[in-house]
Amino acid sequence: MDFALTEEQQELRSAARKWLSERYPLDRDFEAPADDRWSELAELGWLGVSVAEDAGGAGLGFLEEALLLEEMGYALYPGPYLATVGFALSGLGPEDQAAVAAGTTKWSAEVKGLVPWLGSVDRVVGMDGNAHDAAGEEQASVDPARPLGRLEAGDGTALPGPRDVPRARTAMAAEAVGVAQRVLELGIQYASTREQFGKPIGVYQAVSHQLANTYADIELARSLVYWAAWCVTVGDEQAPVAAAAAKAFAAEAAVAACERSIQVHGGTGFTWEHPLHRFYKRALWLYGLGSSPTELRAEVADAVLGVTIRV
Partner 1 sequence: MDLRDTPEEAAFRAELRAWLEDTLPEERRGPRGGAQRFGDAFGREWSRKLYDAGYAALTWPKEYGGAGAPYSFQAVFYEEMARAQAPSHVGVIGLGMAGPTIMAFGTDEQKQAHLSKILSAEEIWCQGFSEPGAGSDLAAARTRMERKGDVYVVNGQKVWSSFAHIADWCILIGLSDPDAPRYKGLTYMMVDMHAPGVEVRPLRQITGESEFNEIFFTDVEVPAENLLGEEGQGWQVAMTTLLHERGTLGFALTAALEMSVGRLVDLARERVNGDAVARDRIAQEWIELQALRFTNYRALGAYQRTGVPGPEGSAIKLRWSEQNQRLTKLGRELLGTDGLFDDGWWHYQQLRSRGNTIEAGTSEVLRNIVAERVLGLPKGR
For residues 183 and 93, give the distance between their C-alpha atoms in angstroms, rounded to a whole number.
38
Per CB under 8 A, 300 contacts partner 1: yes
Is 227 near partner 1 (CB under 8 A)?
A: yes
**Which region among 52-60, 111-119, 183-191, 255-263 touches partner 1 (by CB under 8 A)?**
183-191
Rounded Cα distance, 166 and 174, in Å: 12
For partner 1, which is the closer residue by CB, 32 or 311? 311
Which residues pair with residue 146 across a beta bridge? none
Q: How far is CA 216 from CA 180, 219, 257, in A?
A: 11, 5, 10
Q: Is 298 in the site for partner 1 (CB under 8 A)?
A: yes
10: contact with partner 1 by CB under 8 A = no
Q: Is 188 in the site for partner 1 (CB under 8 A)?
A: yes
Among 203, 266, 268, 270, binds partner 1 (CB under 8 A): 203
- Report the residue number, 120 or 213, with the smaller CB distance to partner 1: 213
Burial of 50 (0-12, 13-18, 19+ CB in 10 A): buried
Residue of the chain from 102, 142, 215, 263 that contacts partner 1 (CB under 8 A): 215
Rounded distance, CA 17 to CA 122, Å? 28
First to last CA, the chain: 42
Please say which residue, 211 or 254, places its beta carbon nearer to partner 1. Answer: 211
Residues that bind partner 1 (CB under 8 A): 1-6, 9, 63, 184, 188, 191-192, 199-200, 202-205, 208-209, 211-213, 215-216, 219-224, 226-227, 230, 236, 242, 245, 248-249, 294, 297-298, 300-301, 304-306, 308-311
